[in-house]
């Protein structure tokens, strides 16, 4: 009989939902597990934009510490929040089958502002990536900072005089909070690893690694690795206007990536299609192509602006 696996999770509704999925998957395999809620710095400070907090893995660091201190056995994260360089002693144990990857626009009133590109709409998001892509498409719109968990952001949208706010589709749908007035932004390329859930463990905990291996989805693991390689080669952090999406279809990997300037005016894109057996290094190759085609100057401007990686 196994000793219950201690699953570390943030306290937000979405984080608990994700950790519960892992617990239920383990229990279906006959492995008992319990949730251990832990408050993160990203949940405590809801005013400072993420890119100004000056810390890599703002939503994951507290769980990493609990893991290394042996307070928990595994930690469950939204993979897009996890730094591309894991802390020493922490290992990726499993990537679950991916959910919806796209962003979602939640709006009030009508959505006429989407069709009139000369309008001045008030749009809320704390994401540099979403802001840059939105301004590239709608340069006359004004962007407002929106922080907090999903419930907090929905409430703030209702209270403020904004037309709309941008959310991850997976986040709203997983906890059944997607409003009727919402649109999937299929033109907006998602953050690397968006919609994916990752399980981390101590790299020397062979029992936890072996147990979690059964939860791993190979296609999702490959696609998110390619996307995160692209991110890491360009700038390295999640608080940057970098987007990437890799998908497996009929034995091939389809990859799209882009880097935008902070104001959304300049964009360098790349697309690749290749067989799965040749896909492992494509994220780095695609990033180097972006840098060579004008992306280097954009990356230099982002660093000069002081955006944290």
DSSP lists the bridge partners of residue 144 as: 124
Does the annotation count 300 as an active-site position?
no
36-39: long-range pairs with CB below 8 Å, 24+: 36/6, 36/7, 36/8, 36/9, 36/66, 36/71, 36/72, 37/9, 37/10, 37/11, 38/8, 38/9, 38/10, 38/11, 38/62, 38/63, 38/66, 38/71, 38/72, 39/10, 39/11
Phi/psi class of residue 176: alpha, beta or left (left: φ > 0; alpha: ψ in -120 to 50)?
left
Q: How far apart are CA 128 and CA 49, in angstroms?
A: 10
Nearest one of 101, 33, 130, 52 to 246, comparing CA atoms: 101
Task: Please tell me which residue in 43, 64, 73, 81 is annotated as part of the active site.
Answer: 81
Q: In angstroms, rounded to a whole number, what is the distance separating the alpha carbons of residues 28 and 47?
A: 40
**Which positions are catalytic?**
81
């Amino acid at each position: 009989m196994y000793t219950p696996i201690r699953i570390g999770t943030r306290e937000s509704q979405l984080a608990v939902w994700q950790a519960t999925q892992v617990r239920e998957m383990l229990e279906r395999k006959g492995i008992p597990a319990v949730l251990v809620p832990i408050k993160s710095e990203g949940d405590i400070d809801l005013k400072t934009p993420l890119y100004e907090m000056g810390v890599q893995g703002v939503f994951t660091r507290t769980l990493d510490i609990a893991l290394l201190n042996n307070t928990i056995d595994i930690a469950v994260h939204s993979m897009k929040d996890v730094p591309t360089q894991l802390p020493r002693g922490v290992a990726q144990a499993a990537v679950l089958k991916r959910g919806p990857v796209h962003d979602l626009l939640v709006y009030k009133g009508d959505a006429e502002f989407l069709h009139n590109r000369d309008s001045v709409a008030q749009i809320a998001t704390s994401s540099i990536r979403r802001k840059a892509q939105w301004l590239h498409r709608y340069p006359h719109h004004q962007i407002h900072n929106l922080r907090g968990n999903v419930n907090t952001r929905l409430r703030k949208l209702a209270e403020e005089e904004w037309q709309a706010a941008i959310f991850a589709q997976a986040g709203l749908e997983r906890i059944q909070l997607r409003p009727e007035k919402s649109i999937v932004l299929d033109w907006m390329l998602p953050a690397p690893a968006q919609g994916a859930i990752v399980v981390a463990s101590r790299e020397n905990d062979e029992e936890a690694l072996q147990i979690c291996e059964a939860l791993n989805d190979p296609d999702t693991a490959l696609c998110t690795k390619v996307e995160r390689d692209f991110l890491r080669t360009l700038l390295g952090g999640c608080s940057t206007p970098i987007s990437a999406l890799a998908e497996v279809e009929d034995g091939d990997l389809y990859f799209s990536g882009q880097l935008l300037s902070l104001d959304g005016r300049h964009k360098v894109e790349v697309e690749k299609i290749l067989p799965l057996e040749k896909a492992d290094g494509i994220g780095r190759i695609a990033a180097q192509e972006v840098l060579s085609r004008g992306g280097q100057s954009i990356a230099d401007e982002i660093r000069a602006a002081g955006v944290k990686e």
